[in-house]
Each structure stands twice: as C-alpha cells, then as structure tokens.
Structure 1
Amino acid sequence: MNKPVSDDARFEDARETSLNLGALDMDDLQVISGLAQDAVFPIAEMKWQKGARRFALLINRFRWEDDSAARHAPERVQSLLIVDNVLHVASQGIDRADKDLILSLLSVTFEPGEDGTGHVLLTLAGDGAIRLQVEALDATLKDVTRPYVAPSGKTPQHPEVS
C-alpha cells in the first residue's frame, strides 16, 4: 500500500538517491509536481492503458532536489510519472499527430470532484494541457535511470510574475 508522501517524506529528502514517491492527496501531488516541474518528454512517451486504467509518461525531469548541483553541471533523470484509476483522457493545445513533438511539463494539479473523484491536470508550456478524469487520486513518480548532465547545461528559469 502506498503511504502518502506528506506523512513520511519531504522535497528535501530525495537528495542523491533516486525517487520513488506516491501521491494519494493534493498535498502529496504538490510535492510530485514540484519535482516534475520543467520535465520534458516526447509525445511518443505518453501512453494511456485504458484497460489497466493507467496513464504513464516517461519524462526527463530536472533534478530540483539535487543539493550538490553547485559542485557539478545541472542534471536530469528519466522518470515514470504514472496516474492510476484513470477513466478518461483529454488534451488541448497538443498536436498528437506530430510524433516528433517535445512537451514541457509545468505542473501537476488535482481538481477534486465528488466522493474522491476528480481530474488530474498536467499543465504544459505553450498553453497545452492533459486532463485525466480519475476515480481516485493515485499518482507515482519513480526515477528509472541514473542522473545525466542536462543537455542544455542550464537550470530552467522562470520569469517573475508581477
């Protein structure tokens, strides 16, 4: 059984180890969202397994939790972002026919409905979004490779909002 992240882990706890986090509530999902912010992925690495009621992304996430980043180049790591209990998937602002399209994840949020149902919203750069209708919130973020030097050599930057 997955324990909620907020009960036993904090953003800072990841440090130099690989991540394997679960989210069963909005607080947990906020931690996963922060760790997955600025992840990039080819559209081809997005899969909905309708029969299994699972939506999965293989993302190249920036290692925001890396305390030793000052000692080496910025790093990314391939991770699986999985949402279970998915009943329906919809997208907007994404050309799903463009198999070479690279998407950038800005945030992962939950819009609650009745009796634990709701929608997981994956907000993408460029006004794109993926909306997952879920029976209950159950998300996982798991690193599946060793970290590697970020191809850009830079930390993602976000303009200040005034």
Structure 2
Amino acid sequence: MVFASACVEQDAQAVPKLVSGRTDHHDRRGEQDVTANGPLKLAALDVEDLEVISTHLQDAIMMVGDIRYLPKEKKAVFVMNRFVWDQEADKRTQEHERRRSALAISQVSAMKASKIRQNAKDAVLELLAVTFEPSEGPSGRVKLEFAGGGTVMLEVECIEAQLADLGAAWSTPNKPAHDLN
C-alpha cells in the first residue's frame, strides 16, 4: 500500500485521506461469499483516520513479544488478533470472527512503555484504543492503551499508520465485553 505522508504538505484532492481495500472472501467450501468482509487494509494520515483504525482494533489481543520497535526504519509494528466488530455473529453458530492483523506506525522517533512487563514476551495484552496527542506542527504522540492500565507511547513526526489483515479469519464463540462499573 502506497500513500503520501502527512509530514509533507499535500493537495487534499490528490491524496485520499483513508485508503481501504477488501478482497474477495471464500467460505469453508471454497465458494465465493460476496456478503462476507475480506481482509482489511487501512491507512491513517490524520486523527480522524487513526480513530477509524482504533475502532477496528478495539479488543485486539497481542503478546508483548509481538511488539517491535525498529529505530533505524523509524517504525513500530504490532502484530495482533483483532476482533471483527463490523460483522454480525454467524446466525447458525452465534460465533464471531478474529483476524491476525498488523499495525505499522511510521515516522517514530521514540517508543516508551508503561505498566507492561517487557521481559514477559508471552504476556497477553488487550488493546482498548489508539489515540493521538498533538504537540508542535504535525508531530505528537500516538498512544496505545491496554486493559489493566498499560500503555505504549510513540513519539512521531506525524500520523502515518497502516493496518492490514494478514490472513483468513477464524471463528470464536467469545465476544469481548467490558464491565463499566
């Protein structure tokens, strides 16, 4: 997926703000199912786009070992299993879907974690939200907030993120729920 960076001034007509693509989906028998959602691909170049990505990643689960900071490439990558919120439960089985997905955030100058045991590579994290806190110009901090109070804070030159599903969906009987008390 190629898109222009928000770090460079762009003509609003020339660059779509949100790039989304889905491919054809085949059911378990190999027949094309035109009603099912295929793999998701999104790009974020501003706060509104990042909010769309955050919505798709709510309740995604990942292991601490699936978080990578690549300082030479100025990139952070998070590989996770996201819950597919934009699709209803199967009418027959009442099962939902999860998909293996990757979130790549570019233009990262620093990454800090709080309340996450970084040496516990098999520890599971549940992502609640991805937000942006602006500073000067287009720079700021992309914050990943996890259940239990853990956070990952990324210092970025600008918002430049990509979310992509990595493979086929699988079914799960479990739908995330939150106790609001």
Q: How far apart in 2 are the matches of 1:65 and 1:133?
A: 30
Q: CA deviation at 1:98?
A: 1.0
Greater CA radius of gyration, 1 or 2? 2
CA shift at 1:70, angstroms? 3.8
Task: Rate the CA distance shift 1:31–1:97 in 2: closer, same or farther, 3 A.
Answer: same
Cα separation, partners in 2 of 1:8 and 1:44, compared to 1, 3 Å:
closer
Q: Please, which of 41, 55, 58 is the counterpart of residue 62 of structure 2? A: 41
The counterpart of 2:39, out of the listed 1, 8, 18, is 18
What residue in structure 1 maps to residue 17 of structure 2?
A: 4
Unmatched 5+ stretches in structure 1: 10-14
**Change in 2 beyond 3 A, CA 1:75/1:117:** same
Amino acid at match of 2:81: N
TM-score (norm 2): 0.79
CA contact (8 A) 1:16 1:67 kept: no
- TM-score scaled by length of structure 1: 0.88
Aligned match of 2:13: none
Distance 1:71 1:114 in 2: 52
| Aligned equivalents of 2:61, 2:139: Cα separation in 1 | 28
Aligned-partner Cα distance in 2 for 1:145–1:4: 25
1:158 counterpart = 2:171? no
Aligned partner letter, 2:75: R
In structure 1, the residue corresponding to 2:78 is in which secondary structure? strand
Amino acid at match of 1:128: G
User: What corresponds to 1:59 in structure 2?
Assistant: 80
Distance 1:92 1:74, change over 3 A: same
What residue is the counterpart of 1:101 in the other structure?
123
Alpha carbons 2:102, 2:164 under 8 Å: kept? yes
The percent of aligned pairs where both chains have the same amino acid is 32
Are positions 1:32 and 2:53 aligned together? yes
Structure-2 separation of matches of 1:80 and 1:97? 21
- How far has the Cα of 1:67 moved from its partner? 3.7
Aligned CA RMSD, in angstroms, stands at 1.9
CA contact (8 A) 2:89 2:96 kept: no
Gaps in structure 2 of 5+ consecutive residues? 4-15, 22-35
The number of aligned residues is 154
